[in-house]
């Protein structure tokens, strides 16, 4: 079988995860940073694994154009000696939506302030801290680039993240409906332990709706099994 050729796409991901305020004093003064308490919640909340990704959300003072944030992130990455893996998005909690920059897998908290200062130098301002909270669920929408390996039939793996895969679905599914479908999918005990989110990508002047799956050691066979189960549930609902 020929090795799939990577494709680059732009799109987004919608997910729900518990978040907490970072209260460490080494943050840039008078700023708000959120931490994903249990990233990829559907997987790590049910699985005994402890080596979890580290996700931080720098909360912005207001809306900034996407171009400005991408240019700022490129500039910040060029000036630091550690990967920041920055993407933009929003977090909705307590009936309030805030704009954020998500940073992935920083080695320690001291790097947060370094990144914040460099973003400020690029004209990006941060939201002051508000009411402190711990372990509260938030709706997270991320806008990001994908580098995908297509395996045919609308199935993809993330090139640089072997634990992440995608498969296409016919239509966009509202989040609350998607959560119920995912619960039905997990009734199949062979498919336990994965995190699911809705996703989309721009392609050929249109939008392709997808499901994003996270699971350690995710291979094409497991991804297709999960996809087939989703399709079965979705078709049952539609009929």
Count of Cβ atoms closer than 10 Å to residue 78 Cβ: 8
Under 8 Å CB-to-CB from 170, ≥6 apart: which residues? 209, 234
- With a pLDDT cut of 70, the percent of the chain lying above it is 95
Q: Closest Cα to residue 13, out of 166, 148, 151?
A: 166
Same-domain status, 38 and 123: yes
Which pTM value belongs to this model? 0.93
Q: Name the packing angle between helices 220-238 and 175-185 (round to 10°).
A: 120
Residue 239 has pLDDT above 60, yes or no: no
Q: What is the Cβ-side half-sphere exposure of residue 2, based on CA atoms within 13 angstroms?
A: 5
| pLDDT in the model for residue 101 | 98
Q: What is the pLDDT of residues 2-61, one digit of tens each?
A: 788 999 999 999 999 999 999 878 899 999 999 998 888 888 776 665 567 789 999 999
In a shared domain, residues 125 and 221: no
Average pLDDT (181-194) is: 83
Whether 4 maps to a domain, the answer reads: no
> Could you read off the pLDDT of 59-101 as tens digits, one per residue?
999 999 999 999 999 999 999 999 999 999 999 999 999 999 9
pLDDT of residue 46: 66
221: three-class secondary structure by DSSP: helix
Pick the more confident residue, 192 or 222: 222
- 129-146 confidence digits (pLDDT tens): 988 999 999 999 999 999
Total count of domains within the chain: 2
Residue 165 and residue 187 share a domain: yes
Asked if residue 123 and residue 31 are part of one domain, the reply reads yes
CATH number of the domain within which 180 lies: 3.30.1360
- Are residues 156 and 134 both part of a single domain? no
Backbone angles phi, psi at 43, to 5 degrees: -95, -55
Task: Indicate if 46 and 18 belong to the same structural domain.
Answer: yes
Question: Which domain range does residue 32 map to?
Answer: 9-139
Provide the pLDDT for residue 189.
61
Please choose, from the candidates 206, 200, 205, 225, the residue with its C-alpha nearest in 3D space to the C-alpha of residue 215.
Answer: 225
The per-residue pLDDT of the chain, averaged, comes to: 92
Q: Is the pLDDT of residue 238 over 90?
A: no
Q: How far apart are CA 99 and CA 126, in angstroms?
A: 10
Residues 44 and 81 both lie in one domain: yes
Q: Is residue 228 part of a domain?
A: yes
Q: Does residue 214 share a domain with residue 125?
A: no
Q: What is the structure's pLDDT at 1?
A: 56
């Amino acid at each position: 079988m020929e090795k799939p050729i990577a494709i680059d796409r732009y799109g987004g991901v919608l997910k729900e995860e518990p978040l907490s305020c970072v209260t460490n004093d080494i943050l840039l003064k008078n700023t708000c940073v959120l931490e994903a308490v249990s990233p990829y919640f559907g997987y790590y909340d049910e699985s005994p694994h402890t080596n979890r990704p580290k996700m931080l959300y720098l909360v912005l003072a207001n809306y900034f154009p996407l171009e400005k944030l991408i240019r700022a992130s490129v500039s910040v990455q060029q000036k630091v000696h550690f990967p920041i893996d920055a993407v933009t998005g929003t977090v909705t909690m307590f009936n309030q939506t805030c704009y954020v920059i998500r940073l992935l897998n920083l080695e320690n908290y001291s790097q947060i302030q370094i990144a914040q200062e460099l973003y400020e130098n690029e004209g990006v301002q941060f939201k002051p801290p508000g009411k402190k909270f711990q372990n509260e669920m938030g709706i997270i929408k991320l806008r990001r680039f994908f580098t995908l390996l297509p395996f045919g039939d609308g199935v993809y793996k993330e090139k640089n993240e072997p634990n992440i895969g995608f498969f296409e679905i016919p239509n966009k599914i509202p989040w609350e409906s998607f959560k119920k479908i995912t619960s039905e999918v997990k009734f199949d005990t062979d498919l336990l332990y994965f995190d699911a989110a809705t996703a989309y990508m721009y392609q050929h002047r249109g939008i392709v709706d997808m499901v994003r799956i996270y699971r350690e050691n995710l291979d094409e066979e497991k991804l297709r099994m999960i996809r087939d189960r989703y399709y079965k549930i979705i078709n049952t609902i539609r009929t």
